[in-house]
Amino acid sequence: MSGRLLEITQLSKRFGGVTALDQFEMTVNRGEILGLIGPNGSGKTTSFNVVTGIYAPSQGKILFDGQDITGFTPQQVYKAGVARTFQRSRLCLPLSILDNIMIGNYGRLSKGLWFNLINRRAFQAEFEEGFDQAQALIRTFSASLADRMFEPVGSLPMIERRRIEICRALISRPKLLLLDEPSAGMTHDETKQLMDDILDVRSRIADLSVVIIEHEMGVIERITDRCIVLNYGRKICEGTYGQISTDPEVQQAYLGAE
């Protein structure tokens, strides 16, 4: 289980005059859950956006699984084995639960015209396989969702949407899962349930690494193996929750930001 999966070095991202990431450094080990925390606007989401290729970095290097993925397109990053969720849930609301999860599995779907339009028998076989897979995955989160695969996502409450978003990311069996504030907009109890789900999934998928951005310190304490603290786009501290929570610079950053 040892070894580094993701290594970010000297990563900077500037938006005009704003430096969202400033010589940012982060390493994710295989199989660990890493917490990424920091005050509002400290660059957490930007770090995900740069890793997943939505933004090209202004500077720096990203190594993933031994491969240099700096400057990759989002599609290439996905193929390399990184999947994510978004801070503001970005599901396709008019589409069904099944549709949304299948989008996450795009890499494995057959995309030929002949296959999709003419050879419907082959399509049906692949469809059934995909359906069963998606249903089995969502069942690990919620049995009731698994029975409603053809319902539009837009009619579901927030916690269910978050679960679907995580399933959409997991269905492609990524090596690295990036979760951007999965508990945003949920109650305390819902957050706890969702974190149970995440821990459960991690225990069943060997070798899955997770980076989670989270504001609630209780959550961070409970589920992370290690944490990185960001402030003004820089890493200011790194360690277990116990170590970072007593760090004076971290306390200062949070107090200063409040």
Ligand X SMILES: Nc1ncnc2c1ncn2[C@@H]1O[C@H](COP(=O)(O)OP(=O)(O)OP(=O)(O)O)[C@@H](O)[C@H]1O
* Shortest distance (Å) from residue 16 CB to Mg ion: 19
Residue 106 binds ligand X (CB under 6 A):
no
Residue pair 22/54 in contact by the 8 Å Cβ criterion: no
Using the rule CB under 8 A, is 199 a contact of another protein?
Answer: no
Tokens in use for 151?
Answer: 């319902």
Which residues between 61 and 80 bind another protein (CB under 8 A)? 73-75, 77-79
Among residues 7, 65, 151, 225, the one that binds another protein under rule CB under 8 A: 151
From the list Mg ion, another protein, ligand X, none, partner contacted by residue 110 (C-beta under 5 to 8 A by kind): another protein
The token pair at 255 is 């107090």
The rounded distance, in Å, linking the Cα atoms of 152 and 92 is: 9
Task: Name residue 6's beta-bridge partners.
Answer: 28, 64
Residue from 212, 235, 250 nearest 87 by CA: 212
Residue 20 interacts, among ligand X, another protein, Mg ion, none and using kind-specific CB cut-offs from 5 to 8 Å, with ligand X
142 binds another protein (CB under 8 A): no
Pull the structure tokens for residue 141. Answer: 């989160």
Judged by beta carbon distances under 5 to 8 A according to partner kind, the member of ligand X, another protein, Mg ion, none in contact with residue 202 is: none
56 binds ligand X (CB under 6 A): no
Task: Pick the binder of another protein from 9, 29, 58, 103 (CB under 8 A).
Answer: 103
Per the CB < 8 A criterion, the answer to whether 27 and 8 are in contact is: yes
67-68 sheet: strands from edge to edge: 18-29, 4-15, 59-64, 67-68
Residue 210 identity (one-letter amino acid): V
With CB under 6 A as the contact rule, the residue among 41, 152, 185, 239 that binds ligand X is 41
Binding site for Mg ion (CB under 5 A): 45, 87
Binding site for ligand X (CB under 6 A): 15, 18, 20, 38, 40-46, 87
